[in-house]
Chains A and B, each alone.
Chain A
Amino acid sequence: MENNAKFLTETALRISGVNPRKCMKCGKCSGTCPNYDAMEYHPHQFVAMVEKGQIEKLMQSKSIYLCLSCMACVERCPRGVEPGKLVEAVRLMQIRQQDKNHKGARDIPEFADESVPQQLLMAAMRKYRK
């Protein structure tokens, strides 16, 4: 498990190209985020949790689909940490997983109600669904 957490962390860092150690914990990203209230984990927590190796928690959270990818946090971060890229990386890690219950186009209508974010539906149909 320890190894898996390490592997996941390394993957997240590699995909995003982010160095979370550069973070000085100022909270600029979360102060900037326009969709803050909708997210369970907030931009500054993404950085802190990746640094602590808690990737799995993030992968399970809906927060990765609630990020608007507006990249305001990336633009404003005074340390050049780029939290938005981390969110994106964790999202990619989740949707790239194989042999998980990904959905076909025909399955979509039964999930489509107002509470399900569009991005979640799109992600569910992405290429690794075989």
Chain B
Amino acid sequence: MQKIGVFVCWCGSNIAATVDVEAVAEAVKNEPGVVFSANYQYMCSAAGQKLIQDAIHEHHLTGIVVCSCSPRMHEATFRKTAESAGLNPYMVEIANIREQCSWIHKDKEEATAKAIVLAKAAISKLRNDTPLQAGTSAVTKRCLVIGGGIAGIQTALDVADAGYEVDIVEQRPTIGGRMAQLDKTFPTLDCAACILTPKMVEASQNEKINIISYAKVEKVSGFVGSFKATIRKKARFVDETKCTGCSLCTTKCPSRKGKNEFNMNLDNRGAIYIPFAQAIPNVAVIDPEQCIKLKTGKCGLCEKVCSAGAINYKQEDELIEREYGAIVVATGFKPIDPSPLNEFGYADNADVVTSLEFERLMNAAGPTKGTLLRPSDGKHPKTIVFIQCVGSRCEENTKRGKPYCSKICCMYTAKHAMLVREKYPDTDVHVFYIDVRTPGKNFDEFYRRAAEQYGVDYIKGMVGKVAKEGDKLMVQGSDLINNEQVHIAADMVVLATAIEPDPTARSIGTMLTASMDTNDFFTEAHPKLRPVESPTAGIFLSGVAQGPKDIPETVAQAGAAASKVIGLLAKDHLVTNPCVAQSNELMCNGCSQCEKVCPYGAITYVEKEVRGPGVREVRRVAQVNPAVCQGCGACTVTCPSGAMDLKGFSNKQILAEVDAICRW
């Protein structure tokens, strides 16, 4: 028979104000197995923990029930407390009488009754608990970073700085991401390339960092400390080790129909191209969709002009398999396509552009070499209208865009407006805004400068219609402060389009079993206290993959993610969760159902001699790899014969809890 101690926590007034804690301690006193019960103001405090330890020693307790907050909060605390008093840490049960009781009830009598039931359920479970031993697993001291934008680069640099190997897998032919496409950065107006490209070079020269570009992660298996990833490195038809990046081939290529993705499709590039001058790796890549040689077998001009002999039309995709201890998701974002919001006329008018397109039109390395010329006729625009919140802050049911604020648009619009007024003072600039949101160091000052010093006309209101009239774009919008409808004849309209996670994020999330919200942003383990970790152990989040953020925030988060990775990789071994599935071979009928539902690939089937009362035969039975099993319990509910059980959460234990609740 077990000797159980029950400890009821007040949590200050969090629990005690709604639950009669003394009554709870009193009510469970005579439950079978309970030899001690107490209540205390803060059970998690040093004094509270001492009370538990003293009781364990004094009453020779074999298990304890703590009635307190959610086990997510303090289960680990009380397990440690019990362990240091000589108890097996898995002989600790938590009855959650805060989140699931005091916080959601108002009536003290009812809440107290419920708290007693929850305590009794935990006691019933504890009576069926058995001591469990945690094992250990080794940590592979290598980190995988998915995405080579500023987030991925910063995380990789910081992890490499601590001495660990890092692989950056980037889907595009070069690292640099969105930041490489930007012209200037707010609020300092320093040029994006000037601050980013040195970091790109640093990453490429760091001997601990291995950049795998033009590649994607195809498969991930394993678990924290011991992931196994398959990376597909797409054929670029150019030998990376030979190409010198002279770019002669790119100028000679006769195919000119490929859209230049780096310039937001505003101009064309050759079939063989280098995305931009500072690309890393600075190696050409052939677009097989556009290459005449690859499509028809004729041409081969690039091969002829390449003095390094780097062109290889027969190159094939390469599969790389590697093991990693930690994985960082830094998949970034893309702007939404504003075409469905047809009142802005984006699809019909070349001079209605998104902010990222405008960024390229202002960029010295862009399609217009930094001179602001409108796409339709190459003329200088004299009147420009900026529209904020395009596709942001929309109620979900309206299907007009994203429900969230994209966060960066107010600042980059102020930046664009300011840059235009600085470079072309004779240009009229109007900005339609709903709210100007500028929380951030020197952010509001920046916006005020745009309005006050640069004379940018900020109009509180929204645009209802953009229509082409002659060579003008007629913008109709509301001016809520003046309570009038305004009509502006503009030469160019710039849409501050919402940002959304990169389209690959969802499949990567599924591959990593890392949870995401309804907008496909990765969910953090705790919104305040664990902002850079996924709830899935060993998966870390960096940059916009987790939610909209600007460059300084991204860099800060990337560093934070790196520190978490380093903390993990610094360990030689990890303590594994002993609450894993186990199969009763005598009951297993070999149906394979559990193997199919296991999200971690922890279950295999073996032919094995099974011995039991009256049984001695070779059968096909399920076997669980405890190092891989994460204890999700999917197999236990799937198993038709009841052979599969989860240690620490066995069917017997769960049913004992249910019985205790039903007896009430």
Contacts and interface: CB of A to CB of B under 8 A. Distances in A.
Nearest to B433: A26
Contacts of A25: 434, 480
Contact of B464 (A32, A45, A79): A32
Interface in B481-511: 483, 485
Interface residue range, chain A: 20 to 34
A29 B397 CA distance: 17
A82 to B, nearest CB: 10
Interface stretch (B190-198, B388-396, B415-423, B645-653): B388-396
B465 interface: yes
A31 B388 CA distance: 14
Contacts of B461: 26-27, 30-31
Contact of A27 (B343, B394, B401, B460): B460
A117 interface: no
Interface string A1-40: 0000000000000000000001011111111110011000
A33 B343 CA distance: 12
B388 to A, nearest CB: 10
Contacts of B478: 27-31, 36, 42, 44
Contacts of A26: 389, 393, 434, 461-462
A76 B464 contact: yes
Interface string B404-434: 0000000000000000000000000000101
A69 B562 CA distance: 57
Contact of A32 (B395, B432, B465): B465
B343 A76 contact: yes
B465 A42 contact: no
Contacts of A28: 462-464, 478
Given A30-B478, A42-B483, A78-B400, A22 B462 contact: no
Interface in A48-98: 72, 76-80
Contacts of A36: 478, 485
B493 to A, nearest CB: 13
B398 A80 contact: yes
B5 interface: no
B416 to A, nearest CB: 20
B626 to A, nearest CB: 51
A27 B435 CA distance: 11
Contacts of B152: none
Main SS at interface, chain A: helix
Scoring B394, B401, B464 by chain A CB atoms within 10 A of each residue's CB, the highest score goes to B464
B434 A24 contact: yes
Nearest to A35: B485
Contacts of A78: 389, 393-395, 398, 400-401
Contacts of A22: 395
Contacts, number: 73
A24 B398 CA distance: 14
Interface in B376-402: 389, 393-395, 397-398, 400-401
B513 to A, nearest CB: 34
Contact of A31 (B393, B401, B464, B483): B464
Contacts of A24: 393, 434
A30 to B, nearest CB: 4
Contacts of B476: 31-32
Contacts of B393: 24, 26, 78-79
A42 B393 CA distance: 22
Scoring B393, B432, B480 by chain A CB atoms within 10 A of each residue's CB, the highest score goes to B480
B332 interface: no
B477 interface: yes
A78 B398 CA distance: 6
Given A25-B434, A42-B483, A31 B398 contact: no
B343 A32 contact: yes
Contacts of B462: 26-28, 31
A48 B485 CA distance: 17
A30 B485 contact: yes
A31 B394 contact: no
A78 B400 CA distance: 6
Contact of B485 (A33, A72, A77, A80): A33
A29 B485 CA distance: 11
A80 B395 contact: yes
Contacts of B389: 26, 78
A36 B486 CA distance: 10
Nearest to A41: B483
A36 B432 CA distance: 18
B482 to A, nearest CB: 11
A117 B233 CA distance: 69
Nearest to B432: A31
A76 B391 CA distance: 11
Given A25-B434, A27-B461, A78-B398, 6 more contacts: A25-B480, A31-B462, A32-B464, A76-B400, A79-B395, A79-B398
What 5 A-B pairs have minimum CB-CB distances, sorted nearest first?
A32-B464, A31-B464, A27-B478, A30-B478, A27-B461
28 contacts: A22-B395, A24-B393, A26-B461, A27-B460, A27-B462, A28-B462, A30-B461, A30-B478, A31-B461, A31-B462, A31-B463, A31-B465, A31-B477, A32-B343, A33-B485, A36-B485, A42-B483, A44-B480, A45-B483, A72-B464, A76-B400, A78-B394, A78-B395, A78-B401, A79-B393, A79-B395, A80-B395, A80-B398
